[in-house]
């Protein structure tokens, strides 16, 4: 740690003393259920975080979320959507910007994928190194580390200008919050998202983009025994469309297509008149995205055709390439890590996050400055306990150097 200055050493010492406190705060956060658009838990957790940021002098504003396109609703979500029961959560932005200093946007999502009524509800310390809990790594651990890093910087008198953006629908595509994320991205100079570290503790510097689609097929019903030849099967049409859609998948060319779930017909002794499939795509760059869009559009049939095929698409998160500014930022973060005696390999992934959205509007963003761990979206999700202190120290020193102008993205 010889390359750290006195303030940085004090920051690191202070965060080390917070180790058990930070663990307990992660446990408390994990115990608040925020999966499945569970409004009570989302509202509670958001409120606690906003109160904490207010004590740092941040001004909190709430931004109304947008409606998600209705066609995205999966079969198990459709009843709530049709009845208007789907929760459209707000986006909270806590801002404490300082004139003449870089404007840092720290983005975190408070939702998880875990069933709020499921058995996986608490953080359990399995050993000195591992603790398991829903959303512990994705991303409540990262959010708690950020809160502590900001508090430590404030106590040290570091004049950081920051905004913290908290959204509640990242796990379902950020359709409610995308507009607020884009607007915030345009108003800041540098972006940090609190997604967990990549494999082996890597800093992810390149991500694929992501999109959603739905294939709707129409046919003509008929009794299977009496009038089979008069029927037109929407399920058969859907099967053919799925095969054509799947043929667009070429991971080596940066295109991934996944189909599921499916639905079609109501009984087996009637030719089905309707069938649908939902899917997800990943694309490495705009060319791959455009090729997927072209192939999907080619499946559409003219109005009135039987069978009929209609494909709806939403390419919601653009690919996040390694730009020169992002590379400079990543190298500066690696320099901090090495000053702390940590290693920080670089990586890339097919996973997407809100960092994709931020960078798409011109904000250079690194999005894996959260905690280390693994088994995301599973009921054995875990955090690496030693990384609580290590990653909090890394984030705090990075933010300090940004505030001082020692980390700059200007060439």
Q: What is the pLDDT of residues 354-407, one digit of tens each?
A: 999 999 999 999 999 999 999 999 999 999 999 999 999 999 999 999 999 999
Q: Which CATH number fits domain 6-208+320-404: 3.40.50.720, 3.40.630.40, 3.40.630.10, 3.40.190.10?
A: 3.40.630.10
Task: Select the more confidently predicted residue: 409 or 207.
Answer: 207
Contact 272, 327 (CB under 8 A): no
Q: How far apart are CA 90 and CA 167, in angstroms?
A: 7
- DSSP string of 1-70? -TTS-HHHHHHHHHHHHTHHHHHHHHHHHHTS--BTT-HHHHHHHHHHHHHHHHTTTPEEEEEPPPPPPG
Contact 142, 388 (CB under 8 A): no
- The structure tokens listed for 318 are 């653009």
Q: How far apart are CA 270 and CA 268, in angstroms?
A: 6
Q: What is the pLDDT of residues 40-64, one digit of tens each?
A: 999 999 999 999 999 999 999 999 9
Cis peptide before 139 (omega within 30 of 0): yes
Collapse the DSSP code of 194 into the 3-class scheme (helix H, G, I; strand E, B; otherwise coil) and give the result. strand
Q: Could you give the percent of the chain with pLDDT greater than 90? A: 94
Predicted confidence (pLDDT) at residue 340 exceeds the cutoff of 60: yes
Specify the pTM.
Answer: 0.94
What average pLDDT does this structure show over 13-20? 98
Q: So where are the chain's domains? A: 6-208+320-404, 210-317
Question: pLDDT band at 1, cuts 50/70/90?
Answer: very low
Task: Select the more confidently predicted residue: 410 or 113.
Answer: 113
Q: How far apart are CA 342 and CA 391, in angstroms?
A: 10
Cis peptide before 242 (omega within 30 of 0): no
CATH dotted code for 210-317 = 3.30.70.360
Residue 77: the pLDDT is: 76
Q: What is the pLDDT of residues 112-130, one digit of tens each?
A: 999 999 999 999 999 999 9
Residue 76: the pLDDT is: 77
Q: What is the pLDDT of residues 276-310, one digit of tens each?
A: 999 999 999 999 999 999 999 999 999 999 999 99
């Amino acid at each position: 740690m010889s390359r750290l200055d006195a303030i940085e050493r004090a920051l690191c010492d202070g965060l080390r003393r917070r180790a058990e406190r930070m663990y307990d705060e992660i446990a408390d956060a994990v115990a608040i259920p925020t999966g499945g658009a569970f409004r009570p838990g989302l509202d509670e957790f958001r409120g606690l975080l906003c109160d904490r940021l207010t004590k740092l002098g941040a001004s909190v504003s709430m931004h109304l979320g947008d409606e998600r396109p209705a066609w995205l609703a999966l079969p198990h979500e459709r009843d709530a959507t049709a009845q208007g029961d789907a929760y459209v959560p707000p986006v909270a932005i806590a801002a404490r910007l300082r004139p003449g200093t870089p404007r840092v946007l720290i983005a975190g999502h408070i939702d998880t994928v875990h069933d709020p009524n499921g058995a996986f509800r608490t953080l359990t310390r399995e050993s000195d190194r591992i603790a398991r809990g829903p959303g512990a790594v994705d991303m409540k651990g990262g959010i708690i580390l950020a809160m502590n890093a900001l508090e430590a910087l404030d106590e040290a008198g570091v004049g950081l200008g920051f905004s913290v953006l908290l959204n509640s629908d990242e796990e379902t595509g950020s359709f409610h919050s995308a507009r607020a994320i884009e607007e915030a991205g345009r108003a800041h100079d540098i972006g940090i998202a609190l997604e967990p570290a990549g494999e082996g503790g890597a800093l992810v510097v390149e991500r694929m983009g992501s999109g959603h689609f739905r294939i709707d097929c129409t046919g003509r019903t008929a009794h299977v025994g009496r009038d089979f030849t008069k029927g037109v099967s929407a399920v058969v049409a859907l099967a053919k469309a799925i095969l054509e859609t799947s043929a667009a998948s070429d991971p080596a060319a940066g295109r991934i297509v996944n189909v599921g779930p499916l639905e079609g017909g109501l009984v087996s002794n009637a030719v089905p008149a309707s069938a649908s499939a939902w899917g997800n795509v990943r694309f490495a760059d705009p060319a791959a995205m455009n090729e997927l869009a072209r192939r999907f559009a080619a499946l559409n049939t003219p109005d009135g055709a039987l069978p009929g095929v209609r494909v709806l698409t939403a390419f919601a998160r653009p690919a996040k390439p390694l730009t020169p500014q992002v590379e400079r930022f990543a190298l500066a973060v690696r320099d901090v890590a090495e000053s702390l005696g940590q290693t920080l390999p670089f990586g890339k992934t097919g996973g997407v996050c809100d960092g994709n959205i931020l960078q798409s509007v011109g904000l250079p963003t690194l999005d894996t400055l959260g905690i280390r761990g693994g088994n995301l979206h599973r009921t054995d999700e875990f955090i690496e306990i030693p990384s609580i202190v290590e990653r909090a120290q890394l984030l705090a020193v990075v933010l300090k150097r940004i505030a001082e102008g020692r980390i700059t993205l200007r060439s």
